[in-house]
Amino acid sequence: MKKRITLVAAAALLLSGLAVAMAGLETRAQAAQEWEYRWEVRDDGTSQVWRRPAGDADGGWMAAGTVPQEIVEITGSDLEPGVAIARTPQALFYTGDAGRQWQQMAGLPDWPTAVALGRERAGLIYLGTLTGGVYRSLDAGATWQPLPWDLDMMAGTFVEVTALAVHPQDDDIVYAAAGHWLGSTDQRFTPAGIAMSMDAGQSWEAFHRAGLDEARVIGLEPDAEEPLRVLVTTGQEGSQWLTMEGAALPGWSLSAGRPAESALAPVPAQQAERAGPQAALQGDLRETLGWLLVSLGAIAILGVSLRWAWLSQSCPPRCMGQ
């Protein structure tokens, strides 16, 4: 009887270890896989998120968690495939494990209107806001730094950023479409145009100045081979390419990459662990724990079997049940 109980306990330990190890492998695989997302807003105002491997047009969509607000857009990371940020009109929700868990990001400086993630630096986020222009975080949203915005601005004017983008090969090159809120009792949004920064948002140059009748810009897509060329999408006029004439980027080329000195300061050591996802590490820990449990279970089963074999050879029949 004791033998059966011991064997059952050892087998349960072994199977539990296998389950934990498999979960760890799955978590690590999801952190390395590139994903594309879609979402569905429910009647109660929450959003169901779905995902599938990027580029797999024939693949089925898998449930990827729920966000408790109405999602406007989801921005995935090219650098860290398991990382994505879901933006709602009031908040940002972060996942580091491809949607298994979504966590609301605390401490936003203003309501978010646009998000862009770094392509080369883990934890880098540019945030466009409803009234405060552009902010930057170097530690995955733990802290935010306001970036200057002084293009043809009148004192007290609110700046709404309607679209943001980072150049695919240089995190220092940032694009922002913005407009002004004017008026005291009856405020009106007026598009200001598109600005470009070559030093991670520390200074801006006018890329395109909007006319009074231009539509709101809702999307920016830089040309990967020509930083001074951007595909601009508006809500009314579709998309068109714009080029910043008469400008140059000293020290920048596709062959040389970004200039040797980046405008982005190093992440402080105490904040480095907050930058980027922990999903891969969690997967490694789960896998290690799982295989440890498997080993303990196997050792227990082997020990019981050896003891039973020894008893069968050296004990009379009455001691075999011990």
Dist. CA 209–CA 5, nearest whole Å = 78
Look over the chain and give the mean of its residue pLDDT values, rounded to a whole number: 76
Query: In Å, what is the CA distance from 309 to each residue of 302, 303, 313?
Result: 10, 10, 7
Q: Which of 115, 120, 148 is nearest to 275 (CA)?
A: 120
What's the rounded mean pLDDT across residues 25-53?
79
Which helix (H) or strand (E) covers residue 77, if one does?
Answer: none
Q: What is the mean pLDDT of residues 300-313?
A: 63
Pick the range with the lowest mean pLDDT from 14-18, 34-38, 182-186, 254-258.
Answer: 254-258
Q: What is the pLDDT of residue 311?
A: 60
pLDDT score at 129: 95
Determine the pLDDT at residue 162: 93
pLDDT of residue 138: 93
The one-letter amino acid code at 125 reads I
Angstrom CA distances, 222 to 35, 200, 225, stand at 21, 15, 9
Strands 145-146 and 134-137: antiparallel
C-alpha distances in Å from residue 280, one per residue of 24, 33, 81: 9, 11, 10
CB 171 within 8 A of CB 125: no
SS3 category, 281: helix
Q: Per-residue confidence at 201, pLDDT binned at 50, 70, 90?
A: very high
* More confident position, 28 or 73: 73
Q: Which two tokens stand for residue 97?
A: 């494990």
Return the axis-axis angle of helices 2-32 and 279-314, rounded to nearest 10°: 160
- The predicted pLDDT at position 43 comes to 93
- Per-residue pLDDT of 231-276, as tens digits, reads 988 877 678 888 876 555 554 444 334 444 455 544 443 333 333 4
CA proximity to 93, closest of 122, 61, 115: 115
Q: Which residues of 278-313 are buried (b: 16+ CB within 10 A; e: fewer)?
A: ebbebbeebbebbeebbeebeebbeebeeeeeeeee
Residue 161 one-letter amino acid: V
Q: What does the pLDDT read at residue 192?
A: 83
- Report which of residues 156 and 75 the model is more confident about: 75
Instruction: State the Cα–Cα distance between residues 217 and 238, nearest whole angstrom.
Output: 10
Q: Is the pLDDT of residue 288 over 90?
A: no
Q: How far apart are CA 176 and CA 41, in angstroms?
A: 27
What mean pLDDT is predicted for residues 125-148? 93
Q: Where does the pLDDT of residue 200 fall: very low under 50, low under 70, confident under 90, or very high at 90 and above?
A: very high
CB distance 216 to 160 below 8 Å:
no
Q: Which residue has the higher pLDDT, 141 or 298?
A: 141
pLDDT at residue 163 in the model: 95
Q: Which of 282, 269, 48, 277 is nearest to 141 (CA)?
A: 277
Share of the chain above pLDDT 90, in %: 32
pLDDT of residue 193: 86
pLDDT at 282: 55
**Whether the Cβ atoms of residue 74 and residue 66 lie closer than 8 Å to each other:** no
Report which of residues 85 and 79 the model is more confident about. 85
Show the CA angle centred on residue 232, arms to residues 89 and 251, nearest 5°.
110
Over residues 174-183, mean pLDDT: 85
pLDDT value of position 241: 84
For residue 44, the number of C-alpha atoms closer than 13 Å in the C-beta half-sphere is 6
CA distance 292 to 240: 57
The full length of the chain comes to: 322
pLDDT of residue 139: 92
- Indicate the range of 52-66, 134-148, 189-203, 285-299 predicted with least confidence: 285-299
Which 8-state DSSP code applies to residue 80? Answer: S
Find the mean pLDDT for residues 121-149. 92
Domains of the chain: 34-258+266-278 (2.130.10.10)
Alpha helices in the chain (DSSP H): 2-32, 269-272, 279-314
Half-sphere exposure of 280 (CA within 13 A, CB side): 9
| Residue 203 pLDDT exceeds 50 | yes
The predicted pLDDT at position 166 comes to 95
pTM, 2 dp: 0.70
pLDDT number for residue 11: 57
What pLDDT does residue 239 have?
A: 82
